Amino acid sequence: MRVCGSRFPALVVAVSLLALAGCATVTNPTPGDPLESANRTVFKFNDAVDRAVLKPVAQGYNWVLPQFARSVVTNFFGNFGDAYTMVNDYLQGKGTDGTEDLMRVAMNTVFGVGGLFDFASQAGLPKHYQDFGLTLGHYGVQQGPYLVIPLLGPSTVRDGAGLVVDYFADPIGYIDPTWVATTLYGVRLINTRASLIGASDLLSDAALDKYSFVRGGYLQRRQYEIDGSSAAAPVYQDVGEPTGGAAAPASGAAAAAPAASAAAATAPAGASGASAAVAPTGASGAIGGANVNSGVPGSQYTPPSRFFPSFPSFHFR
C-alpha cells in the first residue's frame, strides 16, 4: 500500500498516524473498494479524531444546551440546506420537489424568523435532501471507487468531486467577516455531530466490523437516494430450503424484484451527508452504518475557504 503514505501529505498528523499503524492488510478484496487498505487506515484516523475531539465536544454541547435550543440551531442551518437542495432538485429536473423546497425556504425564513423554526414541515411540506454528488449520479455518473477522506469520512470518487461543488456553493462560506463564517461552521459541525451521538453508539455495538458496516450502509444509502423509493428490493440468493415447513420457495423475489441491483456494494453512491436535518442519516447509520465515522457530512467539516485558501485542493489532487 504505497498509496497510503503519499496520498494526503498535508495532514501531518495523519501521516504520522499512518506510519504508526502501517497499512492495514486486506484479506478479501471487495469489489467497489480497491483502495480498501488505505481507506481503512484513514477510517481509523478519522475515528480516533472523532473520539478524541469531536465526540467529547458534542457531548458537552448536548449537556449544556436544552433540546429546544438544539432544534433551533438545526432548523437554522437546515434552512440553508433546503435552499441548496432546491438548486439540486431543479438541476435534476425534479420540479415538484424543487418548488416544495422553495416554499419551505420562503415559509421558514419569513414565518420561522430566518429559519429558526421549521413551520413548513408542520404545514406538510416535506423536507428533501440533495447534494451535487447525487445530481451527478442522477445523470449517470458512476460512483467510482469507495473513498474514505481524511476528516470528511465515507465518500466515493464521484461524491468527493460533488463535495467540492457543495463546498463552494455553501452560502455560509461567503459571510463576512470571516470570524462569523468560521463560528457558524464550527457551531454547525458540533450541532450535527451532537445529533448523532446515539446513532454512533448504536453503530459501534451493532457492527461486527465498523469499517465494512459503514461502507455498506453508505453505498446503499447513496444509491437509494439516487434511485428514489421506487427502487427494487435487492435480490438475495437463498441457499437453503426453509426448514420450518414453510410453503413458498423463500428467496421469492419472483414477484417483485428485478435482477439488477443485488448486493449492498454494487451501486454508485454519492458524497457528503446533508443539511442540518441529519436525523435520518443517523438512523441509517444505525442500521446500515451509513454516514459515519461520526456521521457528520463532509462538507460541514471544512472551514470557510478564506480561512484555508487551498483547502479543497489537497484532498483531491
Contact pattern for other proteins over residues 234 through 273, marking x by CB under 8 A: x-xxxxx-xxxxxxxxxxxxxxxx-----xxx--------
Q: How far is the CB of 111 from other proteins (least distance, A)?
A: 16
- To which residue does cell 456494494 refer? 265
Half-sphere exposure (Cβ direction) of 142: Cα atoms closer than 13 Å: 6
Q: Report, in Å, the least distance between residue 227 CB and other proteins.
A: 8
**What are the counts of helices (DSSP H) followed by strands (DSSP E) for the chain?**
14, 2
- Cell output for 205: 455495538
Contact 252, 56 (CB under 8 A): no
User: With CB under 8 A, what is the number of residues at the site for other proteins?
Assistant: 80
Q: Is 288 in the site for other proteins (CB under 8 A)?
A: yes
Neighbouring residues of 125: CB distance < 8 A, sequence distance ≥ 6 = 100, 103, 104, 107
The three cell numbers of residue 200 are: 454512533
Cα 159 to chain centroid, rounded: 10
Q: What is the dihedral of CA 213, 214, 220, 223, to 10 degrees?
A: -160
Residue 51 CA, chain-centre distance (Å), reads: 18
Residue 96 as a binder of other proteins (CB under 8 A): the answer is: no
Smallest distance from the beta carbon of 182 to other proteins, in angstroms? 23
Segment interacting with other proteins (CB under 8 A) among 15-23, 141-149, 179-187, 232-240? 232-240
The answer for 114, left when phi > 0, alpha when psi is -120 to 50, beta otherwise, is left
Stretch that binds other proteins, among 96-104, 181-189, 224-232, 300-308 (CB under 8 A): 224-232
User: With contact defined as beta carbons under 8 Å apart, do 118 and 112 qualify?
Assistant: yes
239/259 with CB nearer other proteins: 239
- Rounded to the nearest whole angstrom, what is the least distance from the CB of residue 200 to other proteins in the complex? 11
Which residue type, as a one-letter code, is found at position 183? Answer: T
Among 92, 135, 143, 281, binds other proteins (CB under 8 A): 281
**How far apart are the C-alpha atoms of 45 and 296, rounded to whole Å?**
15
Of 140-148, 177-185, 206-214, 303-311, the segment contacting other proteins by CB under 8 A is 206-214
Q: Is 14 in the site for other proteins (CB under 8 A)?
A: no
Of 205, 225, 209, nearest in space to 297 by CA: 225
Q: Of the two residues 92 and 291, which places its CB atom closer to other proteins in the complex?
A: 291
The set of residues, in sequence order, having a beta carbon less than 8 Å from that of 122 and lying 6+ positions away, is none
Query: Which lies closer to other proteins via its Cβ, residue 78 or residue 304?
Result: 78
Of 20-49, which residues contact other proteins (CB under 8 A)? 27-28, 30
> Are the C-beta atoms of 70 and 191 separated by less than 8 Å?
yes
Closest distance to other proteins from the beta carbon of 16 (Å): 24
- Distance in Å, CB of 316 to other proteins, minimum: 26
Q: Which lies closer to other proteins via its Cβ, residue 5 or residue 234?
A: 234
Cβ nearer to other proteins, comparing 8 with 80: 80
Q: Is residue 70 within the footprint of other proteins (CB under 8 A)?
A: yes
For the bound state, the minimum distance from the C-beta of residue 145 to other proteins, rounded and expressed in Å, comes to: 16
Give residues 116-155 in contact with other proteins (rule: CB under 8 A): 118, 121, 126-129
Give yes or no for residue 293 binding other proteins (CB under 8 A).
no
Q: The dihedral of CA 157, 158, 163, 165: what is its sign?
A: positive
